[in-house]
Amino acid sequence: MNANILTQIEQISVNVVDIERAITFYRDTLGMKFMFQAGQMAFFDCNGIRLMLSLPEKPEFNHPGSVIYYKVEDMRMVYEAFIERGVTFISEPHVVAKMEHLNIWMAFFRDTEGNTLALTSEVSN
């Protein structure tokens, strides 16, 4: 059996409290491609990876999600566009890793449901 059996992410699930508010934020504020809604679940396409927003199915699943890092080409442009759309950032864009040929930039923000999200960009030196 191949050791690299898990090679692609199909879907990421993020807990929400208010599905309609979350849909509006991800679709209208972040500009993600809305696919469809099925009851208390909403699905977005993020370049082939599905993002599922949903109310927790059981109390034990009701906890903050993992940080989702969205790759962007122009960190400053996206950051400023999101500020204009009312996104509240936890941190301004900053370098988190300086490497030989590139720097990795990140900026963290929260969605309407309290989940932490991030923008990340690799910038050549």
The three-point CA angle 28-31-6 to 5° equals 130
Does residue 117 lie within any of the structural domains?
yes
Does residue 36 lie within any of the structural domains?
yes
Range of the domain at 111: 11-124
Of residues 66, 53, 52, the one with CA closest to residue 19: 53
Of residues 121, 113, 123, 122, the one with CA closest to residue 29: 113
Does residue 2 lie within any of the structural domains?
no
Q: What CATH number corresponds to the domain at position 37?
A: 3.10.180.10
pTM of the model: 0.83
Does residue 112 lie within any of the structural domains?
yes
Does residue 5 lie within any of the structural domains?
no
User: What confidence tens digit (pLDDT) does each residue in 58-114 have?
Assistant: 888 788 778 999 999 999 999 999 999 999 999 999 999 999 999 999 999 999 998
Counting the structural domains of the chain, the total is 1
